[in-house]
Every structure is written in C-alpha cells, then in structure tokens.
C-alpha cells in the first residue's frame, strides 16, 4: 500500500472572489440555502470519498499485518518444536546411537537455519517499511549471481523431483549490482517457483539482453496466479492464495523484498500468469549499462 500523503488529496477548489463558505463579495450567492457553495460541497464530497478510501486501505493493511503475525507465530513454532524434539531424542537413551545422533544434529541444524532465515526476513521487512533498505552497487557479471542462486535452490528442485532448465548468452552480462541482494531476488523467485509447483513440474530460468537491458525470466508450470491477484502480489504481506501459501510455508514478504531490491537497482519486475493451474512467470528487467 502506498503511504498516505497529504499530497494525494486533490487541490482545494477556490472560486474567484470567494469568501468563507464560498460566498462571493459581489453580493451574488453561489451556494444553496445552507449557505455552503456548490464548489465547497463538491470538494467536501470528494474529500470524504478519499478519506473513506484511505481508511479502507488502512484497515486492509492492518488486517494483513494481523494475519502476518498469526502466520509468523505458526512459522516460528514448528521449527522450534522440531528443535525441542531433537534435543529430547539426544538426551534420551536413543541419543547414544551414532546414526540417531547424526540425524538429530542435521534436523536441529536445518530448523535453526529456518529460524535464522525468518529473522533475516523480518529484519528486511523493517528495512523496507522504514525505507532503510540499501544496496552497494559494483560491476559484476549477472551470470555469476544467477549461478549462485540456482545452486542454492538445486536441492529443492531435486527434493521435489522438478525439472530445472536454464538458458543464457555465452558472453558475460555486466551489471551494476549489489551481488548478495540481487542473488536474494533470484533465490526468492526460484524458491517460489519450486514452492508453488507440484512434484514433477518444470521450472526454467533464462537470461537475455534486449536493447542493452538484461532480462531474467523465471517460469514455472505450477499453481498459477488468478488475474485479480496479479496487481498487488508484490505488496507486503499479500498472499494470492492464502491456503496454498500456508501449506507451503509462506510469510508474504518475499515478493515485496524482490520488488524493493530490483527498484533499488533501477530495474523493474512483473508477474504473469494465465490463471490458476496455468503456471507463472516473473520477469526482472535491469537497466542497460551506460
Ligand atoms: P510467500 O512467503 O507467501 O510465498 P511471497 O511474497 O514470496 O510470499 O509471494 C506472495 C504470494 O504470491 C504467495 O503467497 C503466492 O500466493 C504468490 N506467488 C508467488 N510466487 C508464485 C509462483 N511462482 N506461483 C504461484 N504463486 C506465487
């Protein structure tokens, strides 16, 4: 949601020679019997309409935040419960067994990583809302960033038996980027592609250059996105399909972060989908090098 700004109100309508309440000084009364001019009335009606729209937006934002907190507490509880379970096993008699011990250590490590990621995500939300998200741009080959993002997601693709294909130009694609932040963009988009695609589905990533502008397309054959949801999918805490998101561990912050980071690079990101069940495509365009 856009921050509310006084500037978003329409300019005040002033009639020439109008005094308070729109009475004109030449003795001609422009208003009705209530003494309020028609201009003034139109302005007030418009102002009220805008105010009610803004209240509606605030209520929606507040509701989304409440839902987010409920989801967050659930997302925190499940790794913590797993960690507690792992510690219990390690303390018990089966904790003596080397294989069981290794298994529990791995479980605890995975869950600690999950909580760490959640904490990092929350920090980033704070940075987005306070406008303190920053990038430090250096010249880098975009392909190296994509390779790292793909490596991060490879275990997910394998684990879900998803086919992953990448295509890009042989020559380097130089960009001014904050490597770790831009990697975060592609990790988020690839993670979503995998998360919202059932086992056995297809995911692809392509890099091309159009008129000097690097374009990265991440496409999946997954659950797709309804047309009405496409317009606000990049807003904080928005989940197009709450049931699907909840069953797939979603917090509704990834795409907001993607958009903020891409914009800080002077680029843009859009989402496309032919509808539920039809797969989705996310297209990131970065500025051409001067
Ligand atoms: P979440 O943590 O819920 O996945 P995101 O901000 O990353 O949050 O995404 C917002 C919402 O956009 C998701 O809840 C999901 O409904 C939708 N979405 C994102 N990526 C995809 C995708 N590849 N396919 C289908 N839906 C998607």
Residues 219, 123, single domain; the answer is no
Distance separating alpha carbons of residues 249 and 84, to the nearest angstrom: 20
Say yes or no: 142 and 121 in one domain: no
The reply to whether 150 falls in a domain is yes
pLDDT digits (tens, 9 = 90+) for 32-44: 556 678 888 888 9
Label residue 114 by pLDDT band (50, 70, 90).
Answer: confident
Top-confidence residue, 10 or 148: 148
| CATH code for position 172 | 3.30.565.10
- Domain boundary (84, 104, 130) is at 130
Task: Give the ligand 1 atom nearest the CA of 250.
Answer: 2
Q: Average the pLDDT over 7-36 and give the result.
A: 44
| Residue to mutate (ligand 1; options 125, 252, 269; most atoms within 8 A of CB) | 252
Long-range pairs, 270-275, Cβ under 8 A, ≥24: 271/225, 271/230, 271/233, 271/234, 272/230, 273/224, 273/225, 273/226, 273/227, 273/230, 274/224, 275/224, 275/225, 275/226, 275/227
13 CB neighbour count, 10 Å cutoff: 14
CA–centroid distance, 23 to ligand 1, in Å, is: 55
Where among 114, 130, 146 does a domain terminate?
Answer: 130
Residue % of the chain over a pLDDT of 90: 60
Q: Cα separation of 231 and 273, whole Å?
A: 11
pTM: 0.76
Q: Is the pLDDT of residue 16 over 50?
A: no
Q: Is residue 233 part of a domain?
A: yes
Which of 201, 249, 255 maximizes ligand 1 atoms within 8 Å of its Cβ, making it the mutation to test the pocket? 255
69-100 pLDDT, tens digit each: 888 888 889 899 999 999 999 999 998 899 99
Measured between alpha carbons, how far is 79 from 39 in angstroms, rounded to an integer? 60
Q: Measure the CA–CA gap between 149 and 131, rounded to whole angstroms.
A: 25
- Same domain for 171 and 54: no
Same domain, 122 and 159: no
pLDDT attached to residue 251: 82
Give the total number of structural domains in the chain.
Answer: 2
Look at residue 153 and tell me if it is in a domain: yes
What element of type H or E holds 249? none
**Sequence-separated (6 or more) residues with CB below 8 Å from residue 289:** 174, 175, 176, 212
Domain assignment of residue 226, given as a range: 138-285
**Which has the higher per-residue pLDDT, 133 or 5?**
133
149 plus 112 within the same structural domain: no
- Please check whether residues 48 and 154 belong to one and the same domain: no
For residue 171, the model assigns a pLDDT of: 86
196 and 152 belong to one structural domain? yes
Q: Is residue 17 part of a domain?
A: no
In a domain, 237, yes or no: yes
Whether residues 126 and 164 share a domain: the answer is: no
Does residue 206 form part of some domain?
yes
Q: Give residues with Cβ within 8 angstroms of 186, minimum separation 6.
A: 145, 146, 149, 150, 205, 216, 218, 284
Mean predicted lDDT score pLDDT of the chain: 85
Q: Dump pLDDT digits (tens) for 151-206.
A: 999 999 999 999 999 999 878 999 999 999 999 999 999 999 999 999 999 999 99
- Which residue owns the Cα nearest ligand 1 atom 11? 239
Of 130, 164, 198, the residue that ends a domain is: 130
| Bridge partners of residue 151, in order along the sequence | none
Give yes or no for residue 277 having a pLDDT over 70. yes
pLDDT of residue 34: 64
Who wins on pLDDT, 277 or 28? 277
pLDDT > 80? residue 29:
no
pLDDT category, 120, cuts 50, 70, 90? confident
**The pLDDT value given to residue 25:** 37
Residue 145 and residue 109 share a domain: no
28 belongs to a structural domain: no
Q: Are residues 94 and 185 in the same domain?
A: no
CATH number of the domain to which 121 belongs? 1.10.287.130
Contact assessment for residue 168 and residue 233, using Cβ atoms and an 8 Å cutoff: no
């Amino acid at each position: 949601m856009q921050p509310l700004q006084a500037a978003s109100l329409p300019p005040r309508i002033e009639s020439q020679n109008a005094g308070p309440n729109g009475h004109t000084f030449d003795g001609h009364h422009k208003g009705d019997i209530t003494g309020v001019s028609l201009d003034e009335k139109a302005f007030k009606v418009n102002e009220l309409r805008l105010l009610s729209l803004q209240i509606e937006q605030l209520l929606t934002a507040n509701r989304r935040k409440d839902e987010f907190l409920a989801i967050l507490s659930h997302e925190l509880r499940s790794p913590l419960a797993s960690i507690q379970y792992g510690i219990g096993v390690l303390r018990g008699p089966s904790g003596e067994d080397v294989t069981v011990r290794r298994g529990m250590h791995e479980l605890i490590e995975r869950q600690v990583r999950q909580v760490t990621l959640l904490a990092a995500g929350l920090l980033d939300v704070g940075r987005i809302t306070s406008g303190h998200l920053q990038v430090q741009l250096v010249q880098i080959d975009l392909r190296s960033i994509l390779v790292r993002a793909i490596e991060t997601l490879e275990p997910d693709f394998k684990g879900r038996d998803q086919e992953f294909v990448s295509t890009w130009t042989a020559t380097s694609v130089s960009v001014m980027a904050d490597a770790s932040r831009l990697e975060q963009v592609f990790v988020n988009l690839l993670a979503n592609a995998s998360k919202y695609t059932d086992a056995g589905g297809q995911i692809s990533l392509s890099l091309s250059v159009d008129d000097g502008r690097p374009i990265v397309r991440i496409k999946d054959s997954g659950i797709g996105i309804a047309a009405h949801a496409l317009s606000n999918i990049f807003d904080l805490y928005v989940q197009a399909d709450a049931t699907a998101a909840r069953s797939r561990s979603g917090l509704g912050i990834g795409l907001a972060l993607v958009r903020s980071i891409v914009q800080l690079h002077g680029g843009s990101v859009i989402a496309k989908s032919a509808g539920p069940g039809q797969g989705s495509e996310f297209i990131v365009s970065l500025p051409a090098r001067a």
